[in-house]
Amino acid sequence: EDQVTQSPEALRLQEGESSSLNCSYTVSGLRGLFWYRQDPGKGPEFLFTLYSAGEEKEKERLKATLTKKESFLHITAPKPEDSATYLCAVRKAAGNKLTFGGGTRVLVKP
Amino acid sequence: DVKVTQSSRYLVKRTGEKVFLECVQDMDHENMFWYRQDPGLGLRLIYFSYDVKMKEKGDIPEGYSVSREKKERFSLILESASTNQTSMYLCASSSVKDRVIYSNQPQHFGDGTRLSIL
C-alpha cells in the first residue's frame, strides 16, 4: 500500500533559524512528488514538483530535494510569513491520484 | 493565475439532507477532483473527473456522487448527509499536457467548504 509520512508533525522556529522538513514515501513507480503550502482556512497552494532522485527545486527561502525514498523541504532563514502547514504528495506511474502525507505545521516566531 | 472557486465557505446541514457542493475553475482544465481533509487523516480523494460526464472513484467514494455536465464545473453530492461527513471539502483542477490524461501537471485547489452535518 502506498504510504507518505511527514515529519515532524509540528515545528517551531525562531526567525532566521533554518530547518528541514521530511517526507518519506513507499510507492511503486513514482511519477512525481509534489510540495504544497496550506495557510489556515485556505486550500493548498502548489510549490514544487520533483520527478527523479537527485532533483532540486528552489523558490525564495524554500528548497526541495528528492531521493529514492524521501524528499526534504529546506527552509533557509525563515520569516514569520513562512508559517504554514507544508504538505507533500506522491503520484504513481499509473493514474491521476495523489497520495498526501499528514503535513508539517511550521510556526516561525519573530 | 488559476482560480478554483467553491460556492460556499461554510455550510450547515441536517442529517438525511441531500447536499450539493459546487466548484468552478476558470482555466479550461480537463481534470477536476474532490477531496476531504480531516485532522489526523490528511487529504483523501473522493472522486475525480478527467472530462465532461466522465468520473472515477477515489479512495473514499461511499456516500458521495459527482456530476460534471460542463468542463468548468464539478459538483459533489452527498446523497443523504450523515454526521461522519462533517469535514473540510476541497476541490482541485489540473490541466492535461500533450493530451496525456494522467500527466504530471500540478493540481490547483480552491479554498474549501467547511461542512457541518448536525
Amino acid B113: pLDDT: 97
Query: Which residues 9-68 on chain A approach chain B with CB closer than 8 angstroms?
Result: 31-32, 34, 36, 41-46, 49, 51
Q: Which site among A96, A99, A100, A105 would you substitute to test the B interface, given the most B Cβ atoms closer than 10 Å to its Cβ?
A: A96
Amino acid A92: pLDDT: 77
Amino acid B97: pLDDT: 64
Amino acid B42: pLDDT: 87
More confident: A79 or B95: A79
pLDDT averaged over chain A? 93
Instruction: Assess whether pLDDT exceeds 60 at residue A106.
Output: yes
In b/e form, how buried is each residue of B11-26, taking b as 16+ CB within 10 angstroms? bebeeeeebebebbbe
Half-sphere exposure of A76 (CA within 13 A, CB side): 7
User: Which chain A residues are closer than 8 Å to B4 by Cβ?
Assistant: 43
Amino acid A108: pLDDT: 97
Q: Is the dihedral of CA A32, B72, B2, B95 positive or negative?
A: positive
Reading phi first (left if > 0) and then psi (alpha if -120 to 50, else beta), residue B85 is in alpha
Residue in B closest to A49 by C-alpha: B106
Write the residue in A95, A98, A103 that is nearest to B107 by C-beta: A98
- The nearest CA of chain B is from the CA of A64 a distance in Å of 15
Write the residue in B50, B101, B106 that is nearest to A46 by C-beta: B106
Amino acid B96: pLDDT: 75
User: Which chain B residues are closer than 8 Å to A51 by Cβ?
Assistant: 104
What burial class does residue B84 get, using C-beta atoms within 10 Å of its C-beta: 0-12 exposed, 13-18 middle, 19+ buried?
A: exposed
Amino acid B102: pLDDT: 53
Confidence of residue A25 (pLDDT cuts 50, 70, 90): very high
Q: Which of B40, B25, B12, B51 is nearest to B107 (CA)?
A: B25
Report the pLDDT averaged over residues A57-86: 96
Question: Which residues of chain B carry a pLDDT beneath 70?
Answer: 1-2, 97-104
Q: Grid coordinates in use for B39?
A: 485532522
Amino acid A96: pLDDT: 67
Please tell me the distance from the alpha carbon of residue B89 to that of residue A57, in angstroms, as a whole number.
Answer: 29
Amino acid B66: pLDDT: 97
More confident: A83 or A3: A83
Q: Is the dihedral of CA B64, B68, B69, B73 positive or negative?
A: positive
